[in-house]
Amino acid sequence: MIDFLQQLVEGLSAGAIYAGLALALVLIYRFTGIVNFAQGELAMFSAFLAWQLSQIMPFWAALILTLALSFAGGMLIERVVIRPVEGAPEITLVIVTVGLFFTIHATAGWIWSYQTKSFPNPFPEGALRGGGLSVGYGSLGILLVVGVVMALLYLLFRYTRIGLAMRAVACNPQSARLVGIRVGTVLALGWGLAALVGAVSGVLSAPLLFLEPNMMGGVLIYAFAAATLGGFDSPGGAVAGGLIVGVAETLTGAYVDAIGTELKIGVPLVIILGVLLLRPQGLFGHAAVERV
**Residues forming beta bridges with residue 166, ordered by sequence position:** none
Q: What is the pLDDT of residue 261?
A: 65
- C-alpha to C-alpha distance for 230 and 239, rounded to whole angstroms: 7
| Phi, then psi, of 134 in degrees rounded to 5 | -130, 115
Q: What is the pLDDT of residues 89-104, one digit of tens each?
A: 888 888 999 999 999 9
Q: What pLDDT shows up at residue 4?
A: 80
pLDDT at 202: 92
Mean pLDDT is lowest, of 22-31, 107-116, 172-181, 222-231, for 172-181
Instruction: Answer with the residue of higher pLDDT: 70 or 290.
Output: 70
Confidence band, pLDDT 50/70/90 cuts, at residue 292: very low
Containing H/E element for 149?
helix 137-159
Q: What is the pTM (predicted TM-score) of this model?
A: 0.90
Question: Which three-class secondary structure string do you get for 86-140?
Answer: CCCCHHHHHHHHHHHHHHHHHHHHHHHCCCCECCCCCCCCCEEEECCEEEEHHHH
The predicted model gives 111-120 an average pLDDT of 90
Measure the CA–CA gap between 194 and 143, rounded to whole angstroms.
19
Helix then strand then coil, in percent of the chain rounded to 5, is 75, 5, 25
Give pLDDT tens digits for 230-271.
988 888 888 999 999 998 888 887 777 767 666 777 888 888
Q: How far is CA 174 from the centre of its chain?
A: 28
> Which are the contacts of 217, defined by CB distance < 8 A and separation ≥ 6?
40
pLDDT of residue 105: 94
Tell me which H or E stretch contains 127. strand 127-130
At residue 288, the pLDDT reads: 59
pLDDT band at 212; cut points 50, 70, 90: very high
pLDDT at 289: 53
| Best CA proximity match to 18, nearest among 195, 165, 142, 161 | 142
Buried (b) or exposed (e) across 107-145, using 16+ Cβ within 10 A?
Answer: ebeeebeeeeeebeebbeeeeeeeeeeebbebbebbbeb
> For 126-157, what is each residue's pLDDT tens digit?
877 777 777 788 888 888 998 899 899 889 88
Enumerate the domain spans of the chain. Answer: 15-215
Question: Tell me, what's the pLDDT at 165?
Answer: 86
Give residue-wise pLDDT tens across range 33-56. 788 999 999 999 999 999 999 999
Tens-digit pLDDT profile for residues 55-87: 999 999 999 999 999 999 999 999 999 888 887
